[in-house]
Amino acid sequence: QKEVEQNSGPLSVPEGAIASLNCTYSDRVSQSFFWYRQYSGKSPELIMSIYSNGDKEDGRFTAQLNKASQYVSLLIRDSQPSDSATYLCAPRNEYSGAGSYQLTFGKGTKLSVIP
Amino acid sequence: KAGVTQTPRYLIKTRGQQVTLSCSPISGHRSVSWYQQTPGQGLQFLFEYFSETQRNKGNFPGRFSGRQFSNSRSEMNVSTLELGDSALYLCASSLDTGGDGYTFGSGTRLTVV
C-alpha cells in the first residue's frame, strides 16, 4: 500500500509570512511529484510539479524534493489570505509494473493565512 | 479551451439504487481517471481509462465500474448504492496515462439516503 503522509493542520500563518507544507511518501520508486491546491467546495488544481532533487521555484511557490529522504515540501512566500486552502501532495506511482501510472494523494494540509 | 466537464453536479439517490456519472475530458486528452473524495479518507483512486481500456484500478468493490468511449468521454457506474458511497466523485484528464499533470473536473456530489 503506497502511503502519503501530510500534517492535516490547520496551519495558521500571518499574512506576508512563509508557509511551509510537508509531505512524506512510502514508494521509493516515485519519480514525479505534484502539489494541488483545493479551495473549500472546489476541485483540486495543479500548482506545482517537481521531478528532480532540489528546489523548483514558480512565483511565490517553491517545491523542494529529497528522494533519499522520501520527502517533498512546498513553501509559499509572502502568504496571502487567498492562499487559504487545503494543499494536497501527490506522488506519481507506477501500477504493478505495467507501464501505467496513477497519482496517490495525501489527505492534505489545511492552510489558513490570517490578515 | 474547455475544461473537464462532469455531469451531473449533484445527485441524491436511495440505498440499493444505481447511478451513472459522466466525464468529458479536455479535448485531446486520452486518459481519464476517477477519484472518490470523502472527509475521512481524502482522495482515493478508483480507476483510470486510456484509449478505451482500463489501465489501473483502485481498491474498491466490483460495484464500482467504468468505461471509456472512442471520443475519450468516460462514465462510471455504482450499483447497489450504500450510504458509505456518499462522496464527491472527481474525474481528471491528462494527455497520457498516469496523471502527469491532471486537470480535475468540478466533481459530482453524490448523496445516498
Write the pLDDT tens digit of every residue in B37-87.
Answer: 999 899 999 999 999 999 889 999 999 999 999 999 999 999 999 999 999
Number of CB atoms found within 10 A of residue B45's CB: 23
Low-confidence ranges of chain A (pLDDT < 50): none
Res. B13 pLDDT band, cuts 50 70 90 = very high
User: How far apart are alpha carbons B68 and B70 in whole angstroms?
Assistant: 7
User: How far apart are alpha carbons A105 and A84 in whole angstroms?
Assistant: 19
The pLDDT, as a whole number, for residue B77 is 98
The pLDDT, as a whole number, for residue A81 is 97
Question: Residue B25: is the preceding peptide bond cis (ω within 30°)?
Answer: no
The pLDDT, as a whole number, for residue A88 is 97
Whole-number Cα distances in Å, A89 to A86, A110, B44, B72, B85: 10, 12, 13, 27, 24
DSSP-based three-state secondary structure for B84: helix
Task: Say whether B56 and A95 touch across the interface (CB within 8 A).
Answer: yes
| Contacts of B63 by beta carbon, 8 Å cutoff, 6+ apart | B78, B79, B80
Helix (H) or strand (E) holding B13: strand B10-13
Number of CB atoms found within 10 A of residue B16's CB: 10
8 A C-beta contact, residue A30 and residue A49? no
Burial of A69 (0-12, 13-18, 19+ CB in 10 A): exposed
User: How far apart are alpha carbons A79 and A58 in whole angstroms?
Assistant: 14
Mean pLDDT of B19-42: 95
- Single-letter amino acid, residue A13: V
Res. B2 pLDDT band, cuts 50 70 90 = confident
Mean pLDDT of B9-15: 98
- Residue B81: CA count within 13 A, CB half-sphere: 19
- Single-letter amino acid, residue A103: L
Establish if B35 touches chain A: CB-CB under 8 angstroms. yes
- Closest CB to A32: pick one of B43, B100, B104: B100
Task: Say whether B104 and A102 touch across the interface (CB within 8 A).
Answer: no
Question: Residue A44: is the preceding peptide bond cis (ω within 30°)?
Answer: no
Average pLDDT, chain B: 94
- Closest CB to A43: pick one of B97, B100, B104: B104
Task: Say whether A45 and B102 touch across the interface (CB within 8 A).
Answer: no
Res. B99 pLDDT band, cuts 50 70 90 = low
Task: Say whether B105 and A43 touch across the interface (CB within 8 A).
Answer: yes
Question: In B, which residues are within 8 Å of A107 by CB distance?
Answer: 41-42
User: How far apart are alpha carbons B65 and B78 in whole angstroms?
Assistant: 6
Nearest Cα neighbor of B34 from B69, B60, B3, B2 is B60
